[in-house]
Amino acid sequence: MTSFELTTLLMEWTSPGQEPAYGPLFQSALGGSPRFFAGATVESAPDAGNITFTSDHNLVADQAFTYGGDLRFVRSIPDTRSVIINAPLSRTPSAGDQAGPAVTYFPATMPPSVRFLD
């Protein structure tokens, strides 16, 4: 049996669309390919748990995004431009605000191989 423990500080991520340096480790542990969210402009938010974007968001359930220093996950998707999130945001977004980028790692049936020297 093999086990390992990882401690890391998840710092502000400055390269949307690119995996962070520790990304291959998360991918090897979970198996799924990373799914990126580049960000989107808010059209409306009737409350801090429901958001409608100005264009199609291309998010999937359980995918992450950021807003105002909060990290939230999509709970459900009523339509191609709206999401319901897992917990209310600290501040309800206003029209024109930006939801920020995130990378999400999902589990898969078979994890890929990994080299720890990478």
**Model confidence pLDDT, tens digit, residues 64-87:** 999 998 999 999 999 999 999 999
Give the residue carrying structure tokens 């991520």.
13
Position 13 scores a pLDDT of 67
pLDDT (tens digit per residue) in 1-60: 767 666 665 666 677 778 887 888 888 888 888 899 999 999 999 999 999 999 999 999
| SS3 category, 84 | strand
Domain 37-104 bears CATH identifier 1.20.120: no
Give the residue carrying structure tokens 């669309």.
17
Q: Is the pLDDT of residue 117 over 90?
A: no
Question: Distance between CA 36 and CA 60 in Å, rounded?
Answer: 11
pLDDT band at 109 (very low <50, low <70, confident <90, very high): confident
Q: What is the pTM of this model?
A: 0.83
E strands within the chain?
35-37, 40-47, 50-53, 64-67, 70-79, 82-85, 98-99, 102-104
Contact 111, 28 (CB under 8 A): yes
Q: Which of 84, 86, 82, 87 is nearest to 44 (CA)?
A: 82
Position 5 scores a pLDDT of 67
